[in-house]
Amino acid sequence: MSFLNQKFVKSLTQLSDELLVQDTRLSRTIELVHDARCTLGEAPRYVAREHALYWVDIPEAALWRLDLASGVARRRVFAESVVTLAARRSGGLLLAMASGFALLDHFEATPVAFGPRIDPDRPDNRLNDGRCDAEGRFFIGSMNKKKPAADGGLFRLDPDGSVDCLWRGALTANGIAFSPDGAAIFLSDTPQHATFRAPYDPSTGAIGAFAPFAQFPLGKGRPDGGSVDQAGDYWAGLYDGGRVVRLSPQGALLEEIPIPARHVTMIAFGGRDWRTAYVTTARQATTDEELSRFPHAGGVFAFEVDMPGLPEPLFAG
């Protein structure tokens, strides 16, 4: 079933009108963590055992690592784009590349292919955003790069390297996150300005039917990567929207946080108490005038939150 042409009960604009008594643009101190100047920065991941932050620059096929104790940042480039990642329970990283997966024992190691290629018969498709569930399975969405068809899907990579396609029907499957109790999975279709939620069975790794969670107004930013905090609020970066939004478990708009970049790509939590929100941004499709206003576009930003985020699950493979 496709997300296209669905009718939604409420948009975020309507929800904002209902919440006029609440100031959604709360004051936050936004800090520049690293001026990476990424073309398309994505997938911030805090790895607690290293006290390090990882992220990727998709068009540049680059993986970044920032040691948060020393402030030393390192970057390496691969033969194929890295689109997202997860830390592994056994050490090292799981890398999701454009067409499949690889294991990386440490930052400088040679990547080792893991599992099958994804959608080899769909040359216009690539993998996109992903995240582990609490049991150590890795869920990842795909996208159609030319966007003529809603044939992006949602895949589950099991620790043994097997892959199942759980659902197909998005232009760009993005924003994957799980509720605190593990009973729901979130997914956005970025070009459709929409975020959805489905029941999830953590004992089997199966999902139910996706239902509308939030419809974002046209022209004010599109939902990209997202994360959930320990209260169950869903946070999303708005590409072309210059901000992060926080939504209640019912999809109501609670807060908007302006970020000094036009293209905000993803928010994820980290720090030793999981109270630091890390935000990646993009420099692509940014005019000279916008760069004069946002010179650190493509960088990684951070701000503190009151409610801790969910600790990032580790891949069990």
pTM score of the predicted model: 0.92
For residue 5, is pLDDT > 70? Answer: no
Instruction: Indicate the average pLDDT of the chain.
Output: 92
Going by pLDDT thresholds of 50, 70 and 90, the confidence category of residue 7 is very low
Q: Is residue 244 part of a domain?
A: yes
The string of DSSP letters for 34-90 reads E----SBEEEEEEEGGGTEEEEEETTTTEEEEEETTT--EEEEE-SS-EEEEEEBTT
pLDDT value of residue 25:
54
Q: Is 224 a catalytic residue?
A: yes
Residue written as tokens 């019912």?
250
**Pairwise CA distance, residues 118 & 100, whole Å:** 6
pLDDT value of residue 53:
98
**Pairwise CA distance, residues 144 & 179, whole Å:** 27
Going by pLDDT thresholds of 50, 70 and 90, the confidence category of residue 147 is confident
Q: How many domains does the chain have?
A: 1
Residue written as tokens 């582990």?
132
> From the CB of residue 183, how many other CB atoms can be counted at a distance below 10 Å?
12
- Percent residues over pLDDT 70 in the chain: 92
pLDDT value of residue 1:
33
| Residue tagged active-site, from 119, 129, 133, 224 | 224
Q: Is residue 91 part of a domain?
A: yes
97 vs 6, residue with greater confidence: 97
Q: Is residue 181 part of a domain?
A: yes
Q: Is residue 67 part of a domain?
A: yes
Instruction: Tell me how many degrees the CA angle 61-67-73 measures, rounded to the nearest 5.
Output: 45
pLDDT value of residue 261:
98
Residue 140 is part of a domain; what is its CATH number? 2.120.10.30
Provide the domain limits for residue 147.
12-304
Condensed to tens digits (0 to 9), the pLDDT of residues 18-62 reads 332 234 555 789 999 999 999 999 999 999 999 999 999 999 999
pLDDT value of residue 149:
85
**Pairwise CA distance, residues 210 & 155, whole Å:** 14
- Give every strand in the sheet of 300-304, ordered side by side: 31-34, 300-304, 276-282, 263-270
pLDDT value of residue 307:
98
Condensed to tens digits (0 to 9), the pLDDT of residues 127-139 reads 999 999 999 999 9
pLDDT value of residue 26:
58
For residue 103, is pLDDT > 80? Answer: yes
For residue 290, is pLDDT > 70? Answer: yes
Q: Is residue 99 part of a domain?
A: yes
For residue 13, is pLDDT > 50? Answer: no
Condensed to tens digits (0 to 9), the pLDDT of residues 179-235 reads 999 999 999 999 999 999 999 999 999 999 999 999 999 999 999 999 999 999 999
Q: Is residue 141 part of a domain?
A: yes
